[in-house]
Amino acid sequence: MTMLAVFRSRAQTLEYISVLKGNGVPAQAVNTPKEAGVGCGVSAKFEDVFLARARACLAKRNYSSFSGFMKNNGGRFGYL
């Protein structure tokens, strides 16, 4: 299932994607869905099997603009 890491900062989103890839998580930048309610417009997309690794990568850094993880539930995204 598709997951998103939502940030309020484009720069932090892109840095996080780089960190994910460096830790073996296939990730890419995608448009943030309106359900997120944040203004950056870019989120990190990855598959749910990598959620534990994605959380570990997040914990290693101080991302002040992180809003949360969202999961695709039947075509719509919702926060975990």
pLDDT at 39 over 80: no
**Per-residue pLDDT band at 74 (split at 50, 70, 90):** confident
Residue-wise pLDDT tens digits, 9-36:
999 999 999 999 999 999 999 999 988 8
The range of the structural domain enclosing residue 31 comes to 2-72
DSSP 37: -
Residues with Cβ < 8 Å from 33, sequence gap 6 or more? 4, 43, 70, 76, 77
Closest alpha carbon to 44 in 76, 73, 19, 75: 19
Specify the number of domains making up the chain. 1
Note whether residue 27 is domain-resident. yes
**Per-residue pLDDT band at 37 (split at 50, 70, 90):** confident
Note whether residue 51 is domain-resident. yes
| Diameter over CA atoms, the chain | 32
What pTM was computed for the model? Answer: 0.92
- Give me the pLDDT at residue 14, please: 97
CATH value at residue 59 = 3.30.70
